[in-house]
Structure 1
Amino acid sequence: MPKLLTASATETQSPLCQFTQPTQNESEGQQVPVAELKARCDRYYHYLAALQPPQENTMLRAANFTVASILEMLQESPQSNFIRVYYGIKENGEHELFMAPITADGTPDTSEEAVYADDCCACPPMSNCSNDEFLSTL
């Protein structure tokens, strides 16, 4: 069974990210059935399908990032302890995700040296993720 790293549920832990003290953001590995992760994706799909007009073929359900782009982003921002994923819409109307390194004050690194990572392809179109069991419809 896969392991999911998730925020620890300790009473002393704040529900907010601790940007200045990243070691306070404890994670614990929990065994997670693949079916539970798929159920998360299914709930989002059903939510999008229920919108009027339905959005299941318009809104992003997943995105792909190259390992090389993530590694470059991390190497160029070694002082960042977080990565934030942003959802946006390009001028041509395409939905897209991108990642940014986050500084100790909880804001994106906007220095001249900062590197962000765009997704390389998204789902939909489902042909980009045709074999993904998390995204298969019921």
Structure 2
Amino acid sequence: MGFIPPGPAPRSDSGMPKAHLETHPRIPAQRALVVTLIPKDPMQQSKPELIFVADQSGSMHGARTKTLVAALRVFLKSLPVEIKLNICYFGSSHLFFFPKSQVYDEKSLETALKSLDGLYGNYGGTETRDTVRASVESRDSTQPLSIILATDGDIWQQ
């Protein structure tokens, strides 16, 4: 048996935030951005708060809302129990599904999934800034916060 070199050396930037932009190979102007933020104390990540910020502006009407709903169903069904969860639908204005984030359990999952049935992309323009700001301000400050923004990218007031 020949010599097997050791794996790559540990990266010195392993605790640094990272972002990766992926462009769809066949669909023009379709991109996805993945951002990884490393908490200073990973033990605090045990029960984070997660807010899905879901675009319901006019440009999302039809097939785009169907795609969004399908993605949200997958995300919602794959979350770990006992995190805190909320959904913020937005367009020209925003609306939180729960007044305050709820502990993710069977009941909150069922309620959140039912909310997806009434989405039509009828909230007007795509104004993300105030929506993201409201999501941060509504957070439970005792827990780490993750925000997932789902939009078609036709954004006003970035």
Instruction: Give the TM-score category using the shorter length.
Output: under 0.3
Task: Specify the structure having the higher radius of gyration (Cα).
Answer: 2
TM-score (norm 2): 0.23
Structure ranking higher on relative contact order (CA contacts 8 Å, 6+ apart)? 2
* Structure having the larger proportion of residues in helix: 2
TM-score (norm 1): 0.25
